[in-house]
Chains A and B, each alone.
Chain A
Amino acid sequence: MSPYDFGRVLAAIDGSEGAQKALDCALSICEAVRAELTVLAVEGKLPAYAGSIGEVDEVKREKDTFFARVLDDARSQAEARGVDVHTDLVPGHAAEVITHYAKAHGHDLIVVGHRGHFLGDYLLGSTADRVAHHAHCPVMVVR
């Protein structure tokens, strides 16, 4: 097996336009090489230094609803194109979770969008940059 026979592809999405491009690209790769696809959404930051549990709970609930819709949509797209798909929603810090998840589940390729929709991407460097830096496997950053 060549080191670049992609059998398991991980697409990390966050509901942004860039993530949709990444998902499209990941689906094309999976169709072409008959790879199985994992679509991972990372439920990112909750309000730091919260004044009440309610504030955290409400944001968490909004994120749960949002990401459930995003993952359902990704699943529908994959099924329409005949790709084996598995979806997962994991809390944590995006770059850290994506790289850890890919390694733990034996993915051969990570596909991410160039920029997400979080202000932090602009202030701290994009999640894609950090994933590319820390991943154990090839990373495709889709523009």
Chain B
Amino acid sequence: MDPVQLAAVLAAVVVVASMLSVELGISVALLELGLGVVVGNVFSLDANTPWLTFIASFASIVLTFLAGAEVDPDDFRERFGASVTIGLVSFIGPFVVACLLAWGPLGWTLKASLIAGTALSTTSLAVVYAVLVETGLNATRIGKLIMSACFVTDMATALALSAIFITPNAWFPLFLAVSIAAIVGLPKIAPWFFRRYGDRVIEPEIKLVFVVLFVLMVLADQANGHAVLPAFVLGLVMARHYQQHRQEQERLRVVAFAFLTPFFFLRGGLNVSLGAVFANLGLLAALFAAKLVPKIGLVMPLARRHVPEHATFTTLLMSTGLTFGTISALYGLNAGIIDRTQFSLLVTVVVLSAIVPTAIAQRWFSPDVEAERDAAATPQHQTSRPRSRAIPATEER
């Protein structure tokens, strides 16, 4: 198919995904991924056309940057010790088990096994965040602990993806130096730059962020590495700036969600072969277990110690995955480390892990939101004039 025709078809799919997202209340990312699977398998579209590969690669770095920038630093101070322990165990357990499973019984190459370990060790901060915000638990003690732990797992995933697969060459010192310079320098330059050139329809501030991300991608490529870690940390150090300048963050999100991230998730879906998935259901189950069993087996005891009343809920949410898992798998596919069948299995497991633990946690193990909120929430309501029968203070939220 001609590149422009492909772009037109994919643009139509993106619109349909957006409409379905609004109507069904399901994230547009998951629908783009799902519709990518459908159109890819029905129409045999070329998922590896250069323009699509380029946009998807850049989108994955922008998504990583946004993931860092969307972190609320203040949320992560409370109970940091417990969240570091839970977050690290949540990463290490499935990473080791999935690597060993892929390398041993499944006979994958060492590098492919490491991709499997990385993709299946993730926890989705975004999936967890939606559950917590929807129920109002994000402002509670348990909510902040889970978010902090997810952040630690995400950080470990970014570190693994950057560190494990790099084969340092002469470019590596430059990549390292520029990464550090960007992480130290951008938060210092941004206030002046954004004040001088920001708030314009030509969006110099977004272009500044993009050029830094492109430079990191170029150097990472030259150094045989991946820019995911510096992009994530760069987002993290910019988080407070974006907290103070919400409109800038919104505009960056608009650009990302309207044009970049749809092609990342679509490309992920287009590369999934349903035939390969159905031909390997046993492997799929084994890989799914390699993610879930260590998460449950290792996180649950820690959760029981730190949040005994909500241990199962915490463990299940720590077992979710989506964006970072897809980024890891797509990196493996792009770099030729894994083949399409392996990619299909990994992405299917990642998608299942976004849905299954979340649905179980929400359906059967959701905490008593009222009790949790009573401890932490601020009263939201107002009264127009004194009531004849006031609501007792203990009932107010």
**Interface of A with B (CB < 8 Å)?**
7-8, 36, 44-58, 60, 75, 78-79, 84-92, 100, 104-105, 118-120
Size of interface on B: residues with Cβ below 8 Å to A: 49
Cβ contact of A49, chosen from B30, B125, B382, B384, cutoff 8 A: B30
Q: B15 an interface residue at 8 Å Cβ cutoff? A: no
Are A45 and B384 in touch, CB under 8 angstroms?
no
In the bound complex, CA of A93 to CA of B384 (Å): 26
Q: Quick one: closest B residue to A57, CB to CB?
A: B70
- Contact string against A for B residues 110-134, beta-carbon threshold 8 Å, 1 for contact and 0 otherwise: 0000000000000011110110011
- Provide the residues of chain A in CB contact with B369, threshold 8 Å: 92
Q: Among A55, A85, A100, point to the contact of B29 (Cβ < 8 A).
A: A55
Inter-chain contacts of A88 with B (CB < 8 A): 380-381, 397
Q: Are B391 and A105 in contact (CB under 8 A)?
A: yes
* CA of A88 to CA of B383, assembled, Å: 9
Task: Judge if B196 is at the interface, Cβ distance under 8 Å.
Answer: no
Is A92 within 8 A of B380, CB to CB? no
The 0/1 profile, CB within 8 Å of A marked 1, for residues 260-275 of chain B is: 0100010000000000
Nearest Cβ on chain A to B24's Cβ, whole angstroms? 7
Please name the residue on chain A nearest to B147 by beta carbon: A53
Q: Quick check: B384 and A75 within 8 Å, CB to CB? A: yes
Q: Which residue of A lies closest to B326 (CB)?
A: A51
Q: Are A84 and B387 in contact (CB under 8 A)?
A: yes
Shortest Cβ gap from A79 to chain B (Å): 6
B378 to chain A, nearest CB (A): 12
Identity of the chain B residue whose Cβ is nearest the Cβ of A39 in the assembled complex: B381
B388 in the interface (beta carbon within 8 A): yes
By secondary structure, the A interface counts as mixed
CB of B395 closer than 8 Å to a CB of A = yes
Q: Which residues of A contact B67 (CB under 8 A)?
A: 52-53
Q: CB < 8 Å: which of A44, A49, A53, A79 contacts B355?
A: A49
Are A50 and B129 in contact (CB-based, < 8 A)? yes
CB-based contact A55/B133 at 8 Å:
no
Q: How far, in angstroms, from A60 to B134 measured CA to CA in the complex?
A: 9
Least Cβ–Cβ distance between A134 and chain B, in angstroms: 15
- Asked if A91 meets B24 with Cβ closer than 8 Å, knowing A47-B130, A51-B265, A56-B126, the reply is no
Decide if A56 touches B129 in the complex (CB within 8 Å): yes
**Is B389's beta carbon under 8 Å from chain A?**
yes
Contacts of A46 in B (CB 8 A): 25, 130, 133-134
25 contacts between A and B (CB under 8 A): A8-B389, A36-B388, A49-B26, A49-B124, A50-B126, A51-B28, A51-B261, A52-B67, A52-B257, A52-B261, A52-B323, A53-B70, A53-B126, A54-B66, A54-B257, A55-B29, A55-B126, A56-B129, A58-B250, A60-B133, A85-B384, A86-B381, A86-B384, A88-B397, A91-B135
A123 nearest in chain B by CB position: B24
- Contact between B388 and A119, CB atoms less than 8 A apart: no
B370 on interface, CB distance cutoff 8 Å: yes
Nearest-CB distance from B78 to chain A (Å)?
18
Q: Which of A8, A57, A60, A118 has the most CB of B within 10 A?
A: A57
Cβ proximity bits B134-160 to A, threshold 8 Å, 1 near / 0 not: 111000000000000000000000000
CB contacts (< 8 Å) of A119 on chain B: these are 23-24
Q: A87-B382, A91-B134, A105-B391 are in contact. Are A47 and B26 (CB under 8 A)?
A: yes
Which chain B residue shows the least CB distance to A47? B27
